[in-house]
Amino acid sequence: MLEFSILFPSILGGLTTGAVYALIALGLTLIYGVLHIINFAHGAALMVALYAVYLLKSHFGIDPYLALPIVVPGMFALGYALQRGVINRASHGKDENILLVTLGISIVLENLALMAFKSDTRTIETAYTLSTVQIGPAFIALPKLVAFGGALVASTLLLLIVHRTDLGRAIRAVAKEKQGARLMGIDVDHVYAMSFGIGLGCLGAAACFLLPAYYVNPQVGSGFVLVAFTIVVLGGMGSFAGALLGGLLIGVVESLCGLFLGESLGQIGIFAIFIAVLLFRPQGLFGARA
Amino acid sequence: MAEPLLRVSGLSIAFGGLRAVQDVSFEVPRGRLCALIGPNGAGKTTLFALVSGFLRPDSGQVMFDGQDITGRPPHLNAQAGMTRTFQIVQPFAAQTVRENIAVGAHLHEPRRAAALAAADAVAARVGLAAQLDKPAADLTVAGRKRLELARALATRPTLLLLDEVLAGLNPQEIADMIPVVRGIADDGVTVLMIEHVMQAVMNLAEQVWVLAQGQLIAAGTPAAVTSDPRVIEAYLGPGAAARLQAGEAR
Amino acid sequence: MRRDLPFIVFFTAMMVETIGVLDSGVWINFVAMALFTTLLAQAWNLLGGFGGQFSFGHALFFGCGAYTQAILQLSGGLGAWPALALSVALAAAVGAAVGALSFRYGLRGSYFALASLAFAEVFRIGALSLDITGGGVGLMLPLQEGFSRLQFGSRKGYALVLLAFVAAALVVSSWLRHSRFGAQLQAVRDNEDAARAVGVDPFTVKLRASMMSAAFMGAAGALYLQMFQYIDPAIAFGPAISVEALVGAIVGGMGTLWGPVLGAVVLHLLAEGTRNLFGQLPGLNMVIYGAVLVLIVTFLPRGLAGLGRSALVAFAAWRERRHG
């Protein structure tokens, strides 16, 4: 069981999945780091993005990778509108309200999808869906490899935005000290909405990379949400390095657990980690003590 | 001499590199009204948190009524007779004044009706009788300070730790509160108050400690302490004592 | 001051009358399901409304109750009523365990909500994988009518049993509003540090509330099994029940006595109304629940009961102005 030829593909598979997980988690941790809210709608938003990519392929024949310039800005706009129009207005500044509002949004989105698409699982067919690449003793599906590369590129872009642009500076200012930032003339509401938009934009990118190797149905969001939260909590709320490393780590853990415990029980490994981190080290690996 | 109600020895705590409280020791005798003063950031509230159990000290000991209570959780200390108030008032915002105070009364009173009645009585003592049915969130700053005091009083403490109960009040409100605090002490409650309002300290306190940068720099009567050059310098900066003396000499 | 008791008694008596008098199967079903949702919302309200701890995975206790009720009868050969008692007790024990873990480590706010979701998911996956819970297929209770088997020919019987638990939950909620424990619980909700400073032990208080809340959820789960003779992991531990419980409580008004009742009725009226307008679409109910949740939190954070309270306050003020 512990043969290299069995472990290696599992770990490799875990890393490629983990990279996409990391991209999802990056959006979530950005939203938490800036707005200090736990976005319960993150999974549902990913589901929306996946359906968008699916529909673009099935109705317009647009390849998922080529759909990036459509889906990412689209998700960004959705995020901006949601934050500015709904969440901001509903929260009245209280954290518990935001919790409930994002939960409500996730319920609405998931079930609208259920109504529109029924609970069928859908996949797409592309020229490269079935191609594989050989790395050592492992055969990795090409889409997964592209996903790995794409997720890393997207993450790098995100980090560049946050650390090298004016917007990024504003975001970091608001994250650190909202009132001070406001006094400096930064439009905090706008920055909030931009951050939320960027967070959802990450989901758009993740969806484009995910769909060729994966599938979509209305429940897919909730599957990702807890994994994303586990990563963010493990890595440390608001820490980008944590989200990246955490994503890769969780991807590998999930893969290995699936190998040893079987598909369905494999997920339990993740939740066990989640609960353990919440209880024993809530600040995660890189986060600050709440 | 009777055993002091509160004995603090060698209490220290550091946050990262910041030594917030350094080797502080003092004793509060039973039935007295004492004050803890010092410039902002001296560590007074941190000291209260250490004494009452909200923080665990890195070293040192807290003895309350002869028992070692170092690091014991606050609710157990309250049950034993030590209650603290907060510098930044912490009301139960959604509840009425009466309900707020009743939570304190319930520490020793299991029945609801009796606790509510006790709340009414305590409210009358601090001058909140007219506002008993108001939600706590609707009170003014002065009202909230009184509520904070009332809720603590309702727990029938032997030692009351008041953290800047006069901060943010205007002169009239301060003048109204001073006799209330005096009355509490006259009833036999030992009071240790953190205060910036010197008028109250001079008026009320029998014994004063001065904390600066986490260390106890002076102890004595209010008059002695306020003319101590080290205390003056802690508040006004180095050289201030000499300048003041030179100014007086002229 | 149990001014609430006469109202609770009146409500219960009125409901018994109504159930007895109703002829239409549709309306009896409506009443039974509304009572079911009420019980869910009341259970959530104990920990979430009065205790301020928002659980997003409250189905955990529901599922435990349902599966225990099934397993005890199917494999244990127990009667339905003894099984019910044990299911409630087990759910309370799970409530104690989960509560002890969560509160011992100081989980609050979003972290507590997340943890509750995770616990429910773990149990769902567990139920999917174990043989004793029937795996993905779930468990079925053989149809055997009879009071001693807690199975009734018409929904009326179930409605009455549910009503008994709803009334019990009303009494418990009223007790929370007028007791020392309730005062301490709400103090912890409103300001945990201030509560500690006046002698309240947050851990013990939250733990007890968690147990009470879990017990009622467990009862609801066990009764669900009796009513539908079927349970599976998705129903038992899935989001549908968790959401129904929390939306019912929030829409009605958290931390109030009648809020859960109001919330449950309104949600079911909405569901009925939309079903008549749009037909039986899967997912439509939940869309309504989610939308209502967002709307209530935005515009009516105190819920419908809060609306009633504001109306009363406004009315009293108006009267004072006229006569004062």
Per-residue pLDDT, C317? 80
Per-residue pLDDT, B231? 87
- Torsion region of C267: left, alpha or beta (phi above 0 gives left; psi -120 to 50 gives alpha): alpha
Q: Which residue is closest to C292 within chain A, CA to CA?
A: A104
Whether the Cβ atoms of residue A252 and residue A18 lie closer than 8 Å to each other: yes
Show the tokens assigned to A26.
């990056």
Residue, of B13 and A262, whose pLDDT is higher: B13
Per-residue pLDDT, C181? 97
A8 — pLDDT class (breaks 50, 70, 90) = confident
- Hey, what amino acid is at C86? L
CA distances from B162 to B21, B87, B191 (A): 18, 8, 7
Task: Find residue B9's DSSP bridge partners.
Answer: B61
A150 — pLDDT class (breaks 50, 70, 90) = confident
CA distances from B184 to A177, B18, B144, B159, C196 (A): 41, 36, 18, 11, 22
Q: Does C198 touch chain B (CB under 8 A)?
A: yes
Whether the Cβ atoms of residue B211 and residue B38 lie closer than 8 Å to each other: yes
Site of tokens 């003020």: C317
For A:192-251, CB contacts with C below 8 A are 218, 222, 226, 229-230, 233
Q: Does A283 touch chain C (CB under 8 A)?
A: no
Mean pLDDT of all residues in B181-198? 92
Could you tell me how many helices (H) and strands (E) chain B has, helices first? Answer: 10, 10
CA distances from A283 to A39, A140, A242, C183 (A): 18, 34, 11, 32
Task: Find residue B18's DSSP bridge partners.
Answer: B15
Would residue A24 count as lying in a domain? yes
Q: Does B86 touch chain C (CB under 8 A)?
A: yes
CA distances from C91 to A167, B13, B29, C57, C61 (A): 50, 43, 51, 14, 5
Residue pLDDT, tens place only, B210-244:
999 999 999 999 999 888 888 888 887 787 777 87
Q: How far is CA C255 from the centre of its chain?
A: 13
B152 and C180 within 8 Å at the Cβ level: the answer is: no
Q: Domain range for residue A106? A: 4-280
d(CA A276, CA A282) in angstroms, rounded, equals 9
Q: Are strands B6-15 and B59-64 parallel, antiparallel or unpaired?
A: antiparallel
We report the CATH number of the domain holding residue A185 as 1.10.3470
Report whether pLDDT(A79) > 60: yes
Beta carbons within 8 Å of B29's beta carbon, 6+ residues apart:
B2, B4, B5, B190, B207
Mean pLDDT of all residues in A22-48? 90
A95 closest CA partner among B87, C287, C42, C113: C113
Mean pLDDT of all residues in A220-229? 84
The nearest CA of chain A is from the CA of C2 a distance in Å of 31
- The CATH class of B6-249 is alpha beta
Q: Are strands B67-68 and B59-64 parallel, antiparallel or unpaired?
A: antiparallel
Beta carbons within 8 Å of A220's beta carbon, 6+ residues apart:
A43, A46, A47, A50
What subunits make at least 3 CB pairs under 8 angstroms with B?
Answer: C
Single pTM value for the model: 0.90
Q: How far is CA C256 from the centre of its chain?
A: 13
Report whether pLDDT(B50) > 90: yes
Compute the residue count for chain A: 290
Per-residue pLDDT, A290? 43
Q: Does B91 touch chain C (CB under 8 A)?
A: yes
Mutating which of C119, C298, C299 best tests the A interface, going by the most A Cβ atoms within 10 A? C298
Q: Which residue is closest to A228 within chain C, CA to CA?
A: C114
**Reduced to 3 states, what is the DSSP secondary structure of residue B8?**
strand
Residue pLDDT, tens place only, C54-73:
999 999 999 999 999 999 99
Would residue A290 count as lying in a domain? no
A100 and C298 within 8 Å at the Cβ level: the answer is: no
d(CA C112, CA C214) in angstroms, rounded, equals 15
Q: What are phi and psi of A138, to 5 degrees?
A: -105, 150
State the ipTM, two decimals.
0.91
Report whether pLDDT(A184) > 70: yes
Beta carbons within 8 Å of A210's beta carbon, 6+ residues apart:
A20, A50, A147
C229 — pLDDT class (breaks 50, 70, 90) = very high
Q: Does C177 touch chain B (CB under 8 A)?
A: no
Whether the Cβ atoms of residue A196 and residue A175 lie closer than 8 Å to each other: no
Per-residue pLDDT, C37? 96
Give me the residue from C179, C183, C200 closest to B99, CB to CB. C183
**Got the DSSP string for chain A?**
---HHHHHHHHHHHHHHHHHHHHHHHHHHHHHHHH----TTHHHHHHHHHHHHHHHHHHH---TTTTHHHHHHHHHHHHHHIIIIIIHHHHTT-HHHHHHHHHHHHHHHHHHHHHHHTT--B----TTTT-EEEETTEEEEHHHHHHHHHHHHHHHHHHHHHHHSHHHHHHHHHHH-HHHHHHTT--HHHHHHHHHHHHHHHHHHHHHHHGGGS-B-TTHHHHHHHHHHHHHHHH-TT-HHHHHHHHHHHHHHHHHHHHHH-HHHHHHHHHHHHHHHHHH-TTTTTPPP-
**Got the DSSP string for C90-155?**
HHHHHHHHHHHHHHHTT--HHHHHHHHHHHHHHHHHHHHH-TTTTGGG-EE-----BGGGTB-SSH
What subunits make at least 3 CB pairs under 8 angstroms with C?
Answer: A, B
Report whether pLDDT(B182) > 90: yes
Give me the residue from B52, B76, B106 closest to C183, CB to CB. B106
Mean pLDDT of all residues in B8-37? 93
A235-244, B148-157, C154-163: range with lowest mean pLDDT: A235-244
B95 and C191 within 8 Å at the Cβ level: the answer is: no
B102 and C199 within 8 Å at the Cβ level: the answer is: no
d(CA C130, CA A27) in angstroms, rounded, equals 35
Mutating which of C247, C277, C293 best tests the A interface, going by the most A Cβ atoms within 10 A? C293
Whether the Cβ atoms of residue B195 and residue B166 lie closer than 8 Å to each other: yes
Per-residue pLDDT, B83? 96
**Reduced to 3 states, what is the DSSP secondary structure of residue B212?**
strand
C182 closest CA partner among C203, C207, C204, C209: C209
Set of chain A residues whose Cβ sits within 8 Å of the Cβ of C294: 86, 90, 100-101, 104-105, 108
How many structural domains are present in chain A?
1
Please state the domain extents for chain B: 6-249
Element (H, E) at B237: none
Per-residue pLDDT, B249? 66
A288 — pLDDT class (breaks 50, 70, 90) = low
CA distances from A154 to A92, A194, A279 (A): 33, 17, 32
Site of tokens 């304190």: B104
Report whether pLDDT(B1) > 70: no
Q: Domain range for residue C175? A: 4-323
Dihedral sign from CA coordinates of A285, A201, A93, C244 = negative
Mutating which of A94, A96, A263 best tests the C interface, going by the most C Cβ atoms within 10 A? A96
Instruction: Give me the total of CB pairs closer than 8 Å, taking one residue from chain B and one from chain C.
Output: 81
d(CA A35, CA C134) in angstroms, rounded, equals 43
Show the tokens assigned to B115.
């606790």
Residue pLDDT, tens place only, C98-146:
999 999 888 888 889 989 988 998 999 899 888 899 988 999 999 988 8
Would residue A208 count as lying in a domain? yes
Our answer on whether B and A touch (3+ beta-carbon pairs < 8 Å) is no
Q: State in Å, rounded, how far the first CA of chain B is from the last one.
A: 45
How many structural domains are present in chain C?
1
Give me the residue from C54, C118, C243 closest to A275, CB to CB. C118
Per-residue pLDDT, A76? 95
What is the pLDDT of chain B when averaged over all its residues? 91
CA distances from A170 to A155, A167, C261 (A): 19, 5, 47
Per-residue pLDDT, A142? 84
Q: ∠ CA(A71), CA(A73), CA(A77), 5° rounding?
A: 110
Would residue A56 count as lying in a domain? yes
Whether the Cβ atoms of residue B148 and residue B86 lie closer than 8 Å to each other: yes
We report the CATH number of the domain holding residue C73 as 1.10.3470
CA distances from A276 to A44, A232, A252, A290, C101 (A): 25, 14, 18, 17, 10
Strand arrangement of the beta sheet that strand B18-28 belongs to:
B18-28, B6-15, B59-64, B67-68
Per-residue pLDDT, A93? 67
- Counting other chains too, the contacts that B10-15 makes at CB distance below 8 Å and 24 or more residues apart are B10/B59, B10/B60, B10/B61, B11/B47, B11/B50, B11/B51, B11/B57, B11/B59, B11/B60, B11/B61, B11/B62, B12/B57, B12/B58, B12/B59, B12/B60, B13/B46, B13/B50, B13/B55, B13/B56, B13/B57, B13/B58, B14/B58
**Got the DSSP string for A94-111?**
-HHHHHHHHHHHHHHHHH
Mean pLDDT of all residues in C237-245? 93
CA distances from A239 to A75, B63, B197, B230, C98 (A): 22, 42, 44, 46, 28
d(CA C160, CA A281) in angstroms, rounded, equals 47
DSSP one-letter code for C47: I
A205 — pLDDT class (breaks 50, 70, 90) = very high
Per-residue pLDDT, B150? 95
Beta carbons within 8 Å of C269's beta carbon, 6+ residues apart:
none
- Hey, what amino acid is at A99? L
Q: Does A279 touch chain C (CB under 8 A)?
A: yes
C125 and A267 within 8 Å at the Cβ level: the answer is: yes
Mean pLDDT of all residues in A59-79? 91
Report whether pLDDT(A126) > 80: no
Give me the residue from B84, B93, B102 closest to C197, CB to CB. B84
